[in-house]
Structure formats: structure tokens, C-alpha cells
Amino acid sequence: MYAMNQNVPSEESVQQKITNQLAGGKHNRGQILRQLFFSTLYLSAFTFGGGYVIVTLLKKKFVDDLHWIDEDEMLDLVAIAQSSPGAIAVNGAIVVGYKLAGIPGVLVSVLGAILPPFIIITAISFFYNAFKSNFIVQAVLTGMKAGVSAVIISVVFDMASGIVKSKDMINLLIMVIVFIANYFLGVNVIWCILGAAAVGAIRTAIRFHGGAAS
Amino acid sequence: MSVYVELFLAFLQIGAFSFGGGYAAMPLIQEQVVGKYGWLSLSDFTDLVTISQMTPGPIAVNAATFVGENIAGIPGAVIATLGCILPSCIFVTVLAHFYLKYQKMAMLQGILGSLRPAVVAMIFSAGLLILVPALFRSGAVSFLAGNFHIRMAVWFAVALFLLMKLKWDPILVMVLTGAMELVAQTWIRFC
């Protein structure tokens, strides 16, 4: 707490200094890395609601507040973060880190992004194993199984209704086939992903080809 | 194979094949952690998903820390987490380096378009694996006396109504179902 209070008043002036240096083309690596680390650490520790929210907040921080990345470029970076495998929050930290400070930037911002969940889950895992058999903990967790099932089913319903509404027959077919393959036939998740990706690649290739021909 | 190598490889696959964010990693985590290696029981896995909902941080990173910790302590947690984020670091950095504004990005988006319905289907499938044992004691869908858990079905229906009709916050809904079950079990036990 003491250290945080010490840093708060000076943060504004440090940011201003970095902004000036960037504007003048003089990058101070140490300050950029520090800013990257604390931004991703803070966002990762206090953002509930998943990766998409974090990416929006990263944009707000680095585009709107600090003006280190311009808006159009950020849109492309966000597209890269969302198109890549892995957690969107981590991917968002990677693109911003790479853009501002190369590989050291990636390392620093990823560290900032994963440190909070790492610490929180380490603590919870200790308590979980110690209190799993406790009557109160067990009753609450049992009830929550119904709650989390409902959360997942409602998320699936929202996502699936988007696909149904798009009236894209091939996508609809992919959804049904993958469900049957995975749930009833036990086909490996990775095969399902590779299969769907192959269909997507073929469709896109045909669209490009058709576009070039016409 | 050393348990560290297994942890690293399992979470490397989870990191490399979860496209689309949010729950996309859940089916992969379930397959590796519950199915292939048996590191967590289905019940523990469900608790992990619940905990992930209620804390900040991506589910894959949470799972890596939680499973690694349980299997091989802090070093296990570090190795599993590294495995989980390594594919992202490589893939995203390479993409950002080449900064694809043109066709390749469109190709990637096209592939992603077809992955989305597959991911929805797999999340549904993983969700059913959590839902069915919560509602049916034997873990199989059958309405025989004693198998169907009526109280859990009521909590589930209430939660679904609050989420979908009244648009309640998911964390609040889960806390509520936890509290209702606690009250019910306390009532049965002490009254």
C-alpha cells in the first residue's frame, strides 16, 4: 500500500514525460516497459468479464489516454489478438507490448497480464484443497454447479442464436456436425477445430478465387 | 514421461488450439485435464470453471495455475502456465511483426468464421458434461426415482431465468445458487 501511494501522484508526470519523449522520437525504453508492465498488471487484476473487456481497456489506455498507438493501428492489433489462439487478454497484452517495445515489451506485458491470475489462483487452490470437505464450502459449490451450468448454457444460446440468425447453412451444419461428433461420438476437440478450420480455409479460398475471376 | 513434460505439453495444446476467447478453451481443458490425464475430477473441474468465472483472468491461465499447483506445486503451476501462453506469444508476435493488413488477414478471419460454430458446439458439449452430473446423480440422463436431482433442477431453472430474461450478472447468479443450496442443505441437516 505504501509503495502504491508513493507512486500515484508521480504517475501523471511520468506519463506526460514519456508522451513527450515519444512525440519527440526519443523512446525511453525503461519507462515504456514500466508503463506496459503496470498497465497490463492493473487491467488483468481488476477486469472481470473476460478478454474482450480487457482489449477495450487496453485501447482506452494506450490510444485515448497515452496516445502511444494510433486508432487505426490499434484496430488491426486487436484483430490480430482476436484471430490468434489463446486467451484474448494475453494476446492483447502481447500485441501492445510488441508494438511499443518489441520482444522485451512482449515479455514484460505478458508477465503483467498473467501475474494477477497466477497469484489469485495459487491462493484459492490452497484454500480449495484445505476447505473442499467443509460443509458450508461443499454446499455452496454444489449450488454453484447449477449456476455455472446456467451461465454456460445461456452463453451457448446467445452464440448459437447469432449463428442461426446469420442463415449461413454451412456454418449451421458445422455446428450440428461438430456437436454430434464431439458429444456423442467422442471425437477429439483438436480434430474438430482442424476440420472446421479446413472448411473455413476452403470457403475463403473459393471466395477469393471467385472474386478474382468476376 | 515426467509430470512436468506432461503438464507443459497438455497446456501447450490448450494454448495452441483455443480460438475465440472466453469459453473457447473450456472443452480443450476438459479433454486434457479431466479426460486424458485425469488430473482433476469432473466435479473439481466444474469448481475450477466456477472459480474462473468469479475471479479476473482467463480460464486457460487459471486452469494452468490450478492444475499445475495440484499436480506438482508451484514449479508445476509455472510450467503449465508457460506452456499455455507460449503458442500465443509466438503466433501473435509473428502476426504483429508481419502486420497483416491484406489477404492473409482476410484468410485468417475466414477460417475464424468457420471455427466459431465449431467452438459453440464444443462449449455446449463441455457444458452438458457439467450440467448432466449436476442434475442427475448417476451422471446419466434418466428420470428414475432418486436419480433426478429436483432441487438442483430448480436452481438451474431459476438461474437460467435470471440470466436470460432479467439479464442478471453471472457472478451474482452463481453466488445466489450457492447461497440457496447452502440454505437448503442447512435446513435439511438441522431442522
Q: Which class for A27: exposed (0-12), middle (13-18), buried (19 or more C-beta within 10 A)?
A: middle
- Torsion region of B2: left, alpha or beta (phi above 0 gives left; psi -120 to 50 gives alpha): beta
Q: Give me the mean pLDDT over the B154-182 stretch.
A: 93
Is residue A63's pLDDT more than 70?
Answer: yes
pLDDT at A92: 93
- What residues of A are in contact with residue B99 (Cβ under 8 Å)? 76
- Between the two ends of chain B, the Cα-to-Cα distance in Å is 52
Gap between the Cα atoms of A59 and B67, Å rounded: 32
Q: Give me the mean pLDDT over the B151-169 stretch.
A: 94
Is residue A104's pLDDT more than 70?
Answer: yes
pLDDT at A5: 43
B115 contacts chain A (CB < 8 A): yes
Averaged pLDDT score across all residues of chain B: 90
Q: pLDDT-based confidence at A17, cuts 50/70/90?
A: low
Is residue A112's pLDDT more than 50?
Answer: yes
For A76, phi and psi rounded to 5 degrees?
-65, -40
Select from A145, A152, A177 the Cβ nearest to the Cβ of B23: A152
Q: pLDDT-based confidence at B138, cuts 50/70/90?
A: confident
Count of A–B CB contacts within 8 Å? 334
pLDDT at A13: 54
Is residue A35's pLDDT more than 50?
Answer: yes
A212 vs chain B: nearest CA distance in angstroms? 12
B82 contacts chain A (CB < 8 A): no
Comparing A70-74, B139-143, B181-185, the range with the smallest average pLDDT is B139-143
Best-predicted range by mean pLDDT (A103-112, A154-163, B165-174): A103-112
Is residue A213's pLDDT more than 50?
Answer: no
Q: Give me the mean pLDDT over the A112-124 stretch.
A: 94
Choose among A66, A80, A68: nearest CA to A12.
A66
A166 contacts chain B (CB < 8 A): no
Is residue A140's pLDDT more than 90?
Answer: yes
Q: Which residue of B has its CA nearest to A192?
A: B118
Select from A156, A174, A189 the Cβ nearest to the Cβ of B114: A174
- What residues of B are in contact with residue A88 (Cβ under 8 Å)? 21-22, 58
| HSE, side-chain direction, 13 A CA sphere, residue B36 | 17
A5 vs chain B: nearest CA distance in angstroms? 23
User: Could you give the percent of chain B with pLDDT greater than 70?
Assistant: 97
Averaged pLDDT score across all residues of chain A: 84
Q: pLDDT-based confidence at A9, cuts 50/70/90?
A: very low
- What residues of A are in contact with residue B180 (Cβ under 8 Å)? 143
Is residue B11's pLDDT more than 60?
Answer: yes
Tens-digit pLDDT profile for residues B104-134: 678 888 888 898 899 999 999 989 988 998 8
Is residue B158's pLDDT more than 80?
Answer: yes
A148 contacts chain B (CB < 8 A): yes
- What residues of B are in contact with residue A149 (Cβ under 8 Å)? 127, 130-131, 134, 156, 159
Listed by start position, the domains of chain B span 3-142, 149-191
**B61–A90 C-beta distance less than 8 A:** yes
Is residue A137's pLDDT more than 50?
Answer: yes
Q: Give me the mean pLDDT over the A3-16 stretch.
A: 48
**B170–A118 C-beta distance less than 8 A:** no
Q: In this predicted model, which residue has the larger pLDDT, A3 or B40?
A: B40
Q: pLDDT-based confidence at A78, cuts 50/70/90?
A: confident
Is residue B43's pLDDT more than 70?
Answer: yes
Gap between the Cα atoms of B63 and B37, Å rounded: 14
B141 contacts chain A (CB < 8 A): no
- What residues of B are in contact with residue A95 (Cβ under 8 Å)? 92, 96
Q: pLDDT-based confidence at A79, cuts 50/70/90?
A: confident
**A193–B118 C-beta distance less than 8 A:** yes
B68 contacts chain A (CB < 8 A): no
Q: Which residue of B has its CA nearest to A147?
A: B174
Q: Give me the mean pLDDT over the B16-31 stretch.
A: 89
B75 contacts chain A (CB < 8 A): no
**A122–B65 C-beta distance less than 8 A:** yes
In single-letter form, the type of residue at position A154 comes to S
- What residues of A are in contact with residue B163 (Cβ under 8 Å)? 150-151, 154
Q: Give me the mean pLDDT over the A176-204 stretch.
A: 93
Select from A83, A95, A114 the Cβ nearest to the Cβ of B61: A114
Is residue A211's pLDDT more than 80?
Answer: no
Write out the DSSP string of chain B.
--HHHHHHHHHHHHHHH-BSSGGGHHHHHIIIIIIIS--S-HHHHHHHHHHHHHSSS-HHHHHHHHHHHHHHHHHHHHHHHHHHHHHHHHHHHHHHHHT--SHHHHHHHHHHHHHHHHHHHHHHHHHHHHHHHHHBTTSS----TTTB-HHHHHHHHHHHHHHHTS---HHHHHHHHHHHHHHHHHHHHH-
Chain centroid offset of residue A86 CA: 8
Tens-digit pLDDT profile for residues B45-93: 999 999 988 888 899 999 999 999 999 999 999 999 999 999 999 999 9
Comparing A82-91, A176-185, A203-212, B182-191, the range with the smallest average pLDDT is A203-212
